Structure 1
């Protein structure tokens, strides 16, 4: 954690800018809350920012995530983090039929809720993603904001772990 605390303001924000997809504001807020005593305090602060900070628009965060195996993936336009996460879920090797079903469900979800279906891809594979998507389509919007943000927190924690492990003294 010493290395994280010793990063300059700009280095910190650059490194952590995408722990929440396309939301560098989270890194900016975290940077102002340094120093962190340990990784648990960092995670606790991250969760607090995502849950309570008035400068963080939760629905906007949910809209900024890409569809799983969607057009950005097909066009090679995912962020490095999203690409790695979708690869780990096996979404780069799905059939056209599976991609079509996922696209239909993603579109239904976005039409109903106004934001992207979020699930921590690194903790799932295609079948669990499809089942989760079908089940979550039955929820109301308030529940989906809460569930989606829980998934964002999981993703952000894993991305943070990757960044911290990549830092050298």
Structure 2
């Protein structure tokens, strides 16, 4: 997915339309929901037909949950660090850019950026993957508090927490893209 690609900028679809897509179009439209991981959509396509957005999302998350631990970590490593190199270089996906901006992570003071860089480094050193959080659900201070709390967690517990955060992130992205057919 290129930096300008966005799951939420694609045309809105209903579940019936998603069920009718051919495999290639399904992956093209739904792949961006998962950061640099369109293979998640490719793995979920065989679970059709979906009766709702939650059932579609569950099928996609199940693809991730069925991965061996090492592949789950590789999947997590496809995600950008908060206010990290990708953000500083302007190469994050549109969705990640918008999400990080929602908590002011795109306009950090130099001391805040230095703090988040230290927190990113400590977290990755401890767990082996980037800190992942559903940014729109937290304030900047809550994110900093979560960084500290979650860095101290056992890595297995944190792996589970990171996948739960991705579940929240992708659920929001998917609901922005697909609806159950009840929208006007």
User: Structures share a fold, TM > 0.5?
Assistant: yes
Name the residue aligned to 1:149.
163
| TM-score, reference length from structure 1 | 0.91
Distance 2:158 2:61 in 1: 17
* Structure that is richer in helix per residue: 1
Q: Helix, strand or coil: the match of 2:32?
A: coil
Gaps of 5+ in 1: none
State which of 172, 175, 179 in structure 2 corresponds to 1:158.
172
Kept after mapping to 1: 8 A contact 2:53/2:178: no
| TM-score, reference length from structure 2 | 0.84
Q: How many residues align?
A: 167
Gaps of 5+ in 2: 1-14
Q: Helix, strand or coil: the match of 2:29?
A: helix
Task: Give, in angstroms, the shift of residue 50 of structure 1.
Answer: 2.4
Name the residue aligned to 1:41.
55
State which of 90, 93, 96 in structure 2 corresponds to 1:82.
96
State which of 17, 36, 52 in structure 2 corresponds to 1:3.
17
1:118 to 1:9, Cα distance in 2 relative to 1, 3 A? same
Name the residue aligned to 1:98.
112
Q: Following superposition, which runs of at least 4 residues in structure 1 exceed 4 angstroms of deviation? A: 53-56
Tell me: higher relative CO, structure 1 or 2? Use CA pairs within 8 A at least 6 residues apart: 2
Name the residue aligned to 1:15.
29
